Amino acid sequence: MYSDEDKINSEGKRYDEFRKPDWSPERLRGQMYTGHLSVLRASLVREVGGFRAGYDGAQDHDLLLRVTEHARRVEHVQEVLYHRRVVADSAAGDIEATPYAWIAGRRAVQDQLDRLGIAGAVSCGRVPGTYRIQRVADLDTSVSVIIPTRGGSGLVWGQRRCFVVEAVAYLGWVATIFGYTMWTNLIKRHGANRIAPFSLGVPVVGLSSGMLFLGESITGWQWAGIALIVAALACVLFGGRLTLTPSRAR
């Protein structure tokens, strides 16, 4: 378990209170937020090997990452039970005073990704002491998105936006990237000459889907584009043949 904390200077003044979030393994990969007052089961610490050499400045982060992989649960005590003393040239006063700790922490997080089989690369974040994980997308995994809304709106960065419209627009942007990746893989497997005639229809499908969702009418040529894509994918994916070639396509 871990608690909230604050800082205390040489005059005994307490400041910079840190009310921490509840347990999140993803947050721990991005920041060593559970320190500094933590209570760990001794048998579990011994089981994972305790502190490891080579992680100076981030040995607590490395230990917490390994321990929490096996812990039955992690509890957050929502009280300030630790006062971190700030002295000259200490990380408490200036986190950039110990740059080696930041590098060691990045290595500890990368070690966990490798242990858990999570495909990704860890780099130092924009804020000292934080980390960014660049994950490798698994294109074989499908994702369902549920948008619980009745068309409500609100202020986002000072501008009023309709949440469902913004969400669908974002999903369209993601789908464009996914679609590009899908077509690239198809070209590698089946050749550009066989795939090229149908690639122009991809924007038609995306546009038509958005128009349907927003209640707009779809023209005949858009329906034709959808039909072309469906037929093309069926032939490519199920081994059929089309006589269309790029030079004959109109």
- Could you read off the pLDDT of 99-125 as tens digits, one per residue? 899 999 999 999 999 999 999 999 999
Is the pLDDT higher at 197 or at 41? 41
Q: Give ranges for CATH 3.90.550.10 in the chain.
A: 2-135
pLDDT of residue 160: 79
175 pLDDT band (50/70/90 cuts)? low
The pLDDT tens digits for 207-217 are 555 555 545 56
| Segment holding 229, helix H or strand E | helix 220-237
- pLDDT of the residue at 88: 73
What is the per-residue pLDDT for 250?
A: 43
Q: Which CATH class is domain 2-135?
A: alpha beta
How many residues are present in the chain? 250
In 6-143, where does DSSP find H-type helix? 25-30, 42-48, 59-68, 99-116
pLDDT surpasses 90 at 23 = yes
pTM of full prediction above 0.85: no
CA distance 162 to 151: 6
